[in-house]
Amino acid sequence: MVRDDGHAFGELRRTRAPERPPVGANVTLDAPRAIGSYFILRRLPGGGPQTELFAAHHRDEPATRLVCLKRIHPNYDDNPLFGPRFEQEMTLARTLRHRNLVEVTDLGHDGGHFFVMEYIDGPSLEDLLSNGTMRPSLVVYVGVELCRALSFLHHSDADTGRGPLIHRDVTPHNVLLSRDDGGVKLSDFGLAKALARTGAETITEAKGKPIYLAPEQLTDDKVGTRADLFSLGVVLWRALIGTHPYGEGRPRDKPMGEWIFERTLANERRSAADAAPHAPRELAAAIEGLLQPVAARTSSAEDVFATLRQVEPLDGHTQLVEWIARADEEGRR
């Protein structure tokens, strides 16, 4: 339920943290035994109406060598344009190698198009934020790591000859966190473009869920790399404050998707400094710059990185590992 006191994401509540999938776990009843060349171990949280997610291993590899397999709903096969577009985007995704990007290792079709990613042992940022907001130092750390990923995507790569790339779906669901080393990785590059969802479709399908798209994405205008930066600003606001910057103060009779749509286009919100007086001014300034209209928005991930680095904690990895461990412990109570 959406609260009308500004918490666009609903009540911040204690929920069970995702469990570590046991190695060699039995196949669950609602999961297929195999998809393509991969044996399915269990269904994972994080799927949705368009996708389903599984822990798996390749049939020629031991069961201890886990991968994550994401399959697209077979209804997309009805669109003759989807298959070639999916293969093009996922083939490109397979070439991307960066410490802050989840690696795509394979793709195929079996009951729907699917792609295979490295398995990250840990929750998504969305999972952890269901327990509440993050302390400012952790928000800074996560922001710095995401800036590394976006900087890599947004710049040409002379070695491979590729041009600048846009992620198009920077959300807490797509930020994966490692239990073991506190790593932060951005997942699902290319999927939003492959699915080819328009801003209008996003609003229609939102049904009260938060929206992380930039104004130019919502109106289906020409989209550049700054759209990812706007989404980053919404993610950092959510992590720091616990609300959607454009979802606060919603009238009870107003659908959340429409409310966020209108206020995003009008840039009607509190300032980051007013919303988070406890945060370092550098963090508030970084978020404020990210949430501006496209012409006035911070122009590059490097600029955000430079601002956040001024207050980045030296032990960000350790802080994140400890935070995940506490969430796991609370989930077991």
Residues 6+ apart with CB under 8 A from 79: none
Quick check: helix, strand or coil at residue 48?
A: coil
Q: How many Cβ atoms are within 10 Å of 196's Cβ, its own excluded?
A: 14
Cβ neighbours of residue 294 closer than 8 Å, sequence gap 6 or more: 214, 215, 216, 224, 226, 227, 230
Count of C-beta atoms within a 10 Å radius of residue 333: 6
Residue 2's SS3 state is coil
Q: Which of 127, 169, 188, 228 is catalytic?
A: 169
Do 305 and 149 touch, CB atoms closer than 8 A? no
Question: Phi first, then psi: what are they for 117, rounded to 5°?
Answer: -125, 165
Encoded tokens for 258: 């429409």
- For the question of residue 328 being annotated catalytic, the response is no
Looking up tokens 């939003």, which residue turns up? 192
For residue 134, what are its two tokens? 């993050």
Report the candidate in 295, 270, 274, 143 with the shortest Cα–Cα distance to residue 216. Answer: 295
The tokens for 37 are 């060349």
Residues 287, 233 contacting (CB under 8 angstroms): yes
The DSSP element (H or E) to which 320 belongs, if any, is helix 316-332
- Report the C-alpha gap between 228 and 214 in whole angstroms: 8
Active site residues: 169
